[in-house]
Structure formats: structure tokens, C-alpha cells
Homo-oligomer: A and B are copies of this chain.
Amino acid sequence: MVQYPNKKKAGPALSRNGDRHYTAHRGMNLEEDISLSNKFYLANDRAVIYKKPTPVQIVKVDYPSRNAARIIEGYYQRPSTTDYNGIYRGQYIDFEAKETRQNKFPFINIHEHQIEHLGRIKKHGGIAFVIIAFTHLQETYLIDADYVIDRYYHAEHRYMTYEEVQANGHLIRQGYQPRLYYLDVVDEVYFKECE
């Protein structure tokens, strides 16, 4: 087991050594970390989880040759759902992942239709959550969709504080492979009664 400094504690974790990839020159890249973790989980046959491609509205395509197609005009579209979904331990799993450099998670970072989508998944019996990385603290949390949905609609302010996420979410251990041990947290949170 890799020793890892980011244990859950009262205050923000300080970066020491042992932190193999969130080095000063590299910076945290949550999307890449999740993608690499998913590849690792897939290679180890533990789960089949993918990021959905970014939706692009394609307006013009050029065909320089018979078999080549070059998109020469396109626009990013708002995704209909969350970024990640798949199957784990026979269950449908669905989540959104977001970074913040602040000591809070502003709800402006997540679209209302993504909140609605997470609610639908829960209602249909799936596992749904949000992964939030506080990049300046080098801490990443998994927080169940029900909590986020409740706060999204009922909190007085348009954000969740770091302390709130820390208290209601679950710190994800970081390492080399996988970079984010987020399925260990899923085991803990969603499959405890099965063990």
C-alpha cells in the first residue's frame, strides 16, 4: 500500500512528499486523473466507466480526400448529462467531476440540467455523485448526489463550503495507479451493506 499524506483531517492537507503526481510544476488536472484512473480500473477489469465525449455541433466539414473528413466549423455544445458513466459491481454509476481553486464549490460550476440528471439516476436506482477537487488544497472529495441536489435547491447561498464538502463528502485517496482511488470510496459509501 502506498503511503499517502492526504488523510482526512480537520484542516486542509499540506502537500509533503509521497504525493507522486500533484507536483508544483504539473498542477492538478482532475479530468486527466479520472481518465487515467478509469483506464486503470478498466485494465484491471474492476469497472467499465468512460468519460463522454464533449458534444460538438458540426457545421461544416471539408473532404480533402475521399476518406478524410476535416471539420472546419464547429461549436461546443452544452452537454445533456454528466461527464462520466458506466457500470461497477453490476450497478449503473454516473457522476460529474469539477475543480475549484476556491475554498468553496460555487454552483455556477454545475448546470441545472446536470443536477436534474443526477436526481433522475438516483430515482432510477443508480449510483450518482459529484467529485470535487479543491486544487489549491490538493484534496478531492466524492459527495453523494442527494446532498448536492438538496443544497443546490435549498441552500441560501449559491455554493457549498469546503468544510461542508469535507463533512458530508468523502476524501478520495490519491496515488500513482489509480491516481484517484475513487472506487474505494464508492465501495465504502454505496456497497457497505453487501460486505
Which positions in A face B, CB cutoff 8 Å? 42, 45, 47-48, 50, 52-56, 58, 69-77, 79-81, 85-92, 94, 117, 120-121, 123-126
Contact = CB atoms under 8 A, between A and B. Distances in A.
Contacts of A121: 48, 87
A48 B87 contact: no
Contacts of A126: 48, 87, 90, 92
A151 B90 CA distance: 25
Tallying the copies of this chain within the complex gives 2
A48 B117 contact: yes
16 contacts: A48-B120, A50-B81, A52-B53, A53-B55, A53-B79, A54-B58, A56-B74, A70-B73, A70-B74, A70-B75, A72-B73, A87-B92, A87-B94, A87-B124, A90-B92, A91-B92
Nearest to A124: B87
Nearest to A79: B53
Which of A56, A92, A117, A121: most chain B Cβ within 10 A? A92
A125 B70 contact: no
Nearest to A123: B45
A40 to B, nearest CB: 15
A45 B56 CA distance: 27
